[in-house]
Amino acid sequence: MGPPGAGKGTHAGMLAGEVAVPAISTGDIFRAHVAAGSELGRTAQQYVDSGAYVPDEVTNAMVRERLAEEDARSGFLLDGYPRTLDQAAVLDDLLATQGRDLTAVIVLQVDRESLVRRLLRRAEIQGRSDDSEDVIRRRLEVYAEQTLPLITLYGGRGLVHEIDGNGDVEAVRERILQVTYTFTPAT
């Protein structure tokens, strides 16, 4: 977990490789559907482009399908999901029916100024439709309103590991790996 620009995608890909599970990014899946022009993509695009969350029922159904795939059977790393209390409840139910549970929640903490700087730079490089200044501000607000409460929820279960996400990618990567080896054996 972490606000937009915190580095979730960068580090999720790295960490998933390290612990040999698939990284599942709801943002990436939505963008792929938008690019492919699928029905789900047409539904998601208006929300993604405005910085709002895609409705929970749409996102939950998509994640349910993804987690049922073969490669997620022995583990998974979720990037950008759950982001609302409703999504967290649906995920709890889903995992309970499968007799499994979350192992850990990694939260990347980054100063607001750095977040905005990183996102504006990414806008220049990648041209993501939701990286304009107005939409970035909206995404940060939505995160604070809808997603921060999940840190309290998971914190109460003793799952949360807060990581300083400031500084360069390599330094953050080292911090994440150190913490990860406290709850999962090195592969």
Query: Is 52 marked as binding a ligand?
Result: yes
Matching residue, tokens 């999901």: 81
Say whether 122 is catalytic. yes
Say whether 66 is catalytic. no
Among 100, 117, 128, 175, the active-site one is 128
Neighbours of 89 (CB within 10 A): 14
What residues form DSSP beta bridges with 160?
105
Say whether 121 is catalytic. no
Query: Is 80 marked as binding a ligand?
Result: yes
Nearest to ligand ADP of 22, 80 (CB atom)? 80
Nearest to ligand ADP of 48, 172 (CB atom)? 48
Query: Is 143 marked as binding a ligand?
Result: no
Residue of minimal Cβ distance to ligand ADP: 27
Say whether 139 is catalytic. yes
User: 108: part of which helix (H) or strand (E)?
Assistant: strand 105-109
Neighbours of 128 (CB within 10 A): 15
DSSP codes joined into one string, 41-97: HHHHHHHHHHTPPPPHHHHHHHHHHHHTSGGGTT--EEES---SHHHHHHHHHHHHH
Nearest to ligand ADP of 133, 178 (CB atom)? 133
- Minimum distance, C-beta of residue 151 to ligand ADP, in the bound complex (Å): 15
Contacts with ligand ADP, residue ranges (CB under 6 A): 4-5, 26-27, 30, 47-48, 51-54, 59, 80-81, 83, 87, 130, 139
User: 12: part of which helix (H) or strand (E)?
Assistant: helix 8-19
Say whether 8 is catalytic. yes
Query: Is 5 marked as binding a ligand?
Result: yes
Q: Backbone dihedral region of 79: left (phi > 0), alpha (psi from -120 to 50 degrees) or beta?
A: beta
Report the binding-site residues for AMP. 26, 31, 52-54, 80-83, 87, 128, 139
Positions annotated as catalytic residues are: 8, 83, 122, 128, 139
